[in-house]
Every structure is written in structure tokens, then in C-alpha cells.
Amino acid sequence: MDPLTETKQIVVTRKTRLEELVARYNTISQAKFYVEHLGADFTDYVREHETYQASIRETVEILQRHGRVQQVERGFLPNFLFGPTDIVVALGQDGLVANTMKYLNGQPLLGVNPDPQRWDGVLLPWRVGDLAKRIPSVLSGQCKTQEITMAMARLHDGQVLYGVNDIFIGPKSHTTARYTIRMGAQEERQLSSGIIVSTGLGSTGWLKSIRAPKERMSWNARYLHFAVREPFTSKTSAATLVFGKIDEHHHLTLESAIADNGVIFSDGIESDYLEFNAGMTVTLSLAEKAGCLVI
């Protein structure tokens, strides 16, 4: 059977806080010393880890009744090849669901809460036990889904980055972003802390802390909002094109004048980014693909 066309059930997981501490301090004992030295409760890290591992085992066991199962950790998503008929289960918080979705191309995605006593989230309608009844309906194509609009950043050299919640364009560190911004016939040079381009799903997040849209955006709204963070006017910079709408007919273009450390990343994942340094041009638009969330 061709592995690219075979239907697989992909379980996407994340590292727990305990695993991240052990990776940093080499052993559990050293991680425990560090946490308790700060006055925190190390047993909470252990409970979280054990609950998550138990959820992974139960999830895999349920899915194996319905076919082939493959597990992938979040850090490998940028290089993971999803098959066109795959079914994807994101076992984690909202952020994991969003981060998984941007690497998909219409495959059904289930957001599953591995620890309901600890986590909540608008993208986690399912619990592990629900999968026994839910997976057959997904396999038969009879499940209910929600289309999720995504944003897209395309560099002049063809590199592309997608965003489910939002895309950030600006400096990697706390320095000033310098660029030329264009929309339609309007163009100006700007100095700011960067630009946020938000989808309907992300409109109640980072965008809201800068400037909330007047209307409530649905998750499948066919437009995006952009907002400039802390624009600064000077003799060589303006601040009139600082908030607006991107739709099917209106794209936003930025030409970088950032000498170094200019970046473009999405959904808060700074490790998966595109460089955006002086001379580079990026076009922000609606993505040609959409997310497919099982609800």
C-alpha cells in the first residue's frame, strides 16, 4: 500500500513541562531541585506528565481499533508529510490544535482534551473517551466540521508561511521594525514594533490587545484584520495605514528595511519562522486552503 495515499490516524502530541525541564537539566532529580528551589510544587509537574502520557496511551489504543496509527511530536510538524486522506488528532491545548492545522490541507482535525481537570479551550470539544464513537463517523465522512480561515505570508522568493490565529511580521527582539507598507494605492514608510495579521479565530487574542475589530469575526470569515503595533511618526515615517482589512481583493505588502533579525512567524511559534531582513518583500493574504475542524 502506498504510504502517501493510505489512510492513517496521526496523533500529534507535545512535550510536557516535565519533559522540557529534564531536557534542560538532564535528569528528573536536577529538574526537581530547580523547581523546588523556586518554591514551586514539583508533584504538579509529575501529575501533569503522568496524566498526559496515560491519555496518549488510551488515544493510541482506541485509534488502533480502526487502522494504522502514527504519532508525531509538535516539534517535527514543519517537516512532517501528511497524506491527503489522513485523519489527525491533536492531543493538547488550543495552541497545539492551531499549530497542527496550519500544516494540513483540508484533512479533518480533532482537538482532544487530554486533561479536562487542568485545561479548557474552544478548540477542544472532545475528550479521549469520545474517540471510540467519533472516529468511525470521521472515517465514513459523516462527521460535522467547521471551516477555519487561514492567513498566508508569501515572500518574494516563494517561501510561504500559514497562520491559523495570526501572523507576526517584525523584529525578533525588542527593537524597531522599519519597512514600507502598501495596500492598494496607499503606501508609507513606518517605524513600529511590528504588524499582526489576524484571522477570525485569532481575533479575540493578540489582535484584541492592540485594536479590537468593531464587528465579531466568525472562524470562517473570508477576510483578515491587520494592526500595526506601536507605530511611531518621525520625519521619515508616518502612521496612517495602521489598521485595516485584507480580503479576496485586497492584499497587504511589506518591504523590509530591518537590517538584521527581521522575522515572520505564526501562531506564537517563534522557532518556525521566515527571515524578513532588508530588501525582502512579503505579501499578506487569505490562504488558498482552509482548516477542517471536527466539531
190-200: per-residue pLDDT in tens? 999 999 999 99
Tell me the Cα Rg of the chain.
Answer: 21
How does pLDDT run across 24-62, given as a tens digit for each residue? 999 999 999 999 999 999 999 999 999 999 999 999 999
**Residue 212 confidence (pLDDT):** 77
**Residue 25 confidence (pLDDT):** 95
**Residue 1 confidence (pLDDT):** 43
**Residue 213 confidence (pLDDT):** 81
Give the chain's residues under pLDDT 70: 1-5
Q: How far apart are CA 211 and CA 227, in angstroms?
A: 7
What's the half-sphere exposure (Cβ side, CA atoms, 13 Å) at 240?
7
Which CATH superfamily hosts domain 150-288?
Answer: Probable inorganic polyphosphate/atp-NAD kinase; domain 2 (2.60.200.30)
**Residue 3 confidence (pLDDT):** 46
Q: Determine the longest span between alpha carbons in the chain, in angstroms.
A: 67
**Residue 51 confidence (pLDDT):** 98
DSSP, collapsed to helix, strand or coil, labels residue 57 as helix
Write down the CATH number for the domain with range 9-143. Answer: 3.40.50
Q: Where do the domains of the chain lie?
A: 9-143, 150-288
What's the half-sphere exposure (Cβ side, CA atoms, 13 Å) at 152?
19
**Residue 221 confidence (pLDDT):** 96
- Grid cell in block for residue 31: 529538574
**Residue 114 confidence (pLDDT):** 97
Q: Taking the model in full, what pTM does it have?
A: 0.91
Q: What angle do CA 122, 127, 128 make, to 5 degrees?
A: 140
